[in-house]
Amino acid sequence: MNRSFTITSHNALRCRGWRQEGLLRLLENVLAVGEDPENLVVYAALGKAARDWASHDAIVEALKTMDEQDTLIVQSGKPIGLVKTHRDAPLVIMANCNLVGQWAKAEVFYDLQAKGLICWGGLTAGDWQYIGSQGVIQGTYEIFMRIAERHFGGDLAGRFILTAGLGGMGGAQPLAGRLAGAAILCIDIDPERIAKRIAAGYLDRAATSLDDAIADIRDACAQKRALSIGLCANAADVYPELLARGIIPDVVTDQTSAHDLVYGYVPASRSLEEARAMRRNDPKTLMAESRASIARHVEAMLGFQKKDAIVFDNGNLIRTQAREGGVADAFQIPIFTEAFLRPLFARGIGPFRWISLTNSPADIARIDDLVVSMFPDNKVLSNWIPLARRHIPIEGLPARIAWLGHGERTELALAVNDRVRTGKLDGPVAFTRDHLDAGAMAHPNIMTENMRDGSDAIADWPLLDAMMLCSSKADLVAIHSGGGGYSGYMTSAGVTLVADGSDDAASRLTLALSNDTALGVMRYADAGYPEALDEARERGIRRFEFEASS
């Protein structure tokens, strides 16, 4: 199959309005920047933009022909039909990979996937919101900076970060580490991923051997010089080897596709080619070998932790897999959300994104200027935007991600919509956010681990979020649950809005963005977080308060 994965660079409409056109361009974009677009895979081994090519083509045709009074229904990447709603209803509603509780297991998912009945939408893949490695880079950077503040006097210069995984999510790590001032070594078994990150400007260079890599890391640390190095190897070999040599990094994490024992992680006992063959021929053996390899991998991470390295789980279920592989103390490693970012989430602050739908880098630069001028007291933002302008390369449609909270997102979006209307921007802009957001995700091993009130596993919040977003005129609303190794572990909600300069867009942006973050603050306030209680009071968020029940 010869498919073209190109970025649209004009203002001509192929659809009946910019709302539909914007969603179509975002679908095209996630494939243009995806890991394996020929197979519709955007990231994380299995995160797909559509179930199959027939489904993809039907989605495209629907977006091109539907009116604003229509709503497209998508079930696990397959368009089911169009229903007549009204112009204030979402254009697209989708539910991806949601299985009934007792059936939400990896083996059930793989069976249904093989039958063509389901696909995993990842977080931002299946609802066409992925913006390349930039989509997670600020979150990764903020984690590193929180570690710097807490443990190293606010500075990672001269510090050594060890990590692994350079896929669609992990590929952000080398640049984030370098922006934080560290020397970072990134392990990946796939040489093509290393080459891709170097070509994109996210990785400085590839090492020829572990000794070569360590020599350069030591030199960079001695000079307090920021550096990112990729090494083609298996992390389950490299981590124990470094520990055995007594080489203890300052910070250790991992972002391999450990969540998926078949299509993601490659065991140290196999080459990449052997693992790919086993995915088809012997997946059960591959799962067992992957879990055994992950156990060694995490045991080494625990060894670094005992030697006083700052070690954390980056959200890929590696601790969960290790515990199932016999590492009883795997959860001595903390999760990044609870350890470093929860005070931000409790205030409704999280990863917010905007994308130029007309492929205009100049518009992103203009919005950079705008956002800095609008929020001069936002220290996270004022630090990040200048770094992003200098160092974040464009992948696909020009985009930016920045951590904004309740009220800020709405104010920015309305200002952008006004500039689209008055011609101060080249064209419409889409707004979305990560699913890892205050009210949008329940994941007891990542987002909601160790909640203050014990509400870790309650999935009502993302479901309420999605229903509320439909009620708030959002353009696209999605409910996603985990697939592959994530099956049964998470539920999340996603939203997209198109700022086309119209009064209708202004109404949608106001309602959806304000209500989305308000629910996030309510979620954490309900769990008893003082930051959220303070935010609700300061912002006048109308929530009910109850005496704690015994």
Q: How far apart are CA 221 and CA 102, in angstroms?
A: 50
Q: How far apart are CA 38 and CA 44, in angstroms?
A: 15
Residue 431 β-bridge partners: 354, 497
Q: Name the residue among 77, 103, 74 with its Cα closest to residue 90.
A: 74
The burial of 281, by beta-carbon neighbours within 10 Å (0-12 exposed, 13-18 middle, 19 or more buried), is given as exposed
Domains of the chain: 134-334 (3.40.50.10730), 342-539 (3.40.1770.10)
Do the beta carbons of residue 164 and residue 256 sit within 8 Å? yes
The one-digit pLDDT tens for each residue of the chain (550 residues) are 578 788 887 789 999 999 999 999 999 999 999 999 999 999 988 999 999 999 999 999 999 999 999 999 999 999 999 999 999 999 999 999 999 999 999 999 999 999 999 999 999 999 999 998 888 898 899 999 999 999 999 999 999 999 999 998 899 999 999 999 999 999 999 999 999 999 989 999 999 999 999 999 999 999 999 999 999 999 999 999 999 999 999 999 999 999 999 999 999 999 999 999 999 999 999 999 999 999 999 999 999 999 999 999 998 999 999 999 999 999 999 999 999 999 999 999 999 999 999 999 999 999 999 999 999 999 889 999 999 999 998 989 999 999 999 999 999 999 999 999 999 999 999 999 999 999 999 999 999 999 999 999 999 999 999 999 999 999 999 999 999 989 999 999 999 999 999 999 999 999 999 999 999 999 999 999 999 999 999 999 999 988 765 4
Question: In the numeric block, which tokens belong to residue 422?
Answer: 């008055």
Query: In this structure, how many other beta carbons lie within 10 angstroms of the beta carbon of residue 467?
Result: 13
* Size of the chain in residues: 550
Residue type, 283: P
pLDDT at 549: 55
This prediction's pTM: 0.92
First to last CA, the chain: 62
pLDDT at 136: 87
pLDDT at 547: 72
pLDDT at 4: 78
Q: How far apart are CA 219 and CA 217, in angstroms?
A: 5
CA 445 to chain centre: 15
